[in-house]
Amino acid sequence: MASPTSIDIKEVIFIGSAKADLAALPAEVRTEANAALWNLQNGSWPPTERYKDFSGNDKLAGVGEIRLNHDKDTYRVYNVVSYKEVLYVLEAGIKKSVRGGAIPQQDMRRLEKRYKAARDDYKANQSVYQASYLERERRRKAYDTAMQDGLRPASRKPKGT
């Protein structure tokens, strides 16, 4: 979830255990994953060698995959970026395929279930997310203008107020 004063363009919502799964990644992997998610959250894409759209399953069209290599292991963060206002994180963890690039069936079913939960959440809360997005967009524009004008935006109230 975004903070009430966030200037990030999209709100990030974790589905199921995705937030705990991301937090459980090794520190270096987590740092790289957070940087890639920040890029997606703010309208840019991670490097192409790190990000691709999920393929091989029509039920997961719209899901992206962040790939991170660390200590001879490959980690994945699955996310949905098909919404203008919201970025859903569905799952994070080490790649567990037993054959090549194939994802085990139980993992596919979990991703499909979480993707459905993300779509349902968006449908139920779309107007709330749109209003929140517009407010974050307003704050971001004010921040960008202040930075261009060489001003430092106030991050807290001055002492004595």
Q: Is residue 4 part of a domain?
A: no
Query: What is the three-class DSSP state of 63?
Result: strand
**76-85, 109-118, 142-151 — most confident range:** 109-118
The pLDDT of residue 157: 55
Average model confidence (pLDDT) across the chain: 85
What is the CATH classification number for the domain harbouring 27?
A: 3.30.2310.20
Q: Is residue 54 part of a domain?
A: yes
Q: Is residue 111 part of a domain?
A: yes
Q: Is residue 160 part of a domain?
A: no
Q: With 90 as the cut, is the pLDDT of residue 117 above it?
A: yes
Strand spans (E) along the chain: 11-14, 51-53, 63-70, 73-80, 86-94
Give the domain extent around 80: 11-148
Q: What is the mean pLDDT of residues 104-132?
A: 93
pLDDT tens per residue, range 20-67: 999 999 999 999 999 999 999 988 888 888 888 877 778 888 899 899
Q: How far apart are CA 77 and CA 116, in angstroms?
A: 17
Q: How many folded domains does the chain comprise?
A: 1
Residues 107 and 96: beta-carbon distance below 8 Å: yes
The pLDDT of residue 96: 67
Q: Is residue 104 part of a domain?
A: yes
The pLDDT of residue 131: 94
The pLDDT of residue 97: 63
Give residue 1's pLDDT band: very low, low, confident or very high (50, 70, 90).
Answer: very low
Q: With 70 as the cut, is the pLDDT of residue 107 above it?
A: yes
The dihedral sign for the CA sequence 26, 29, 35, 39: negative
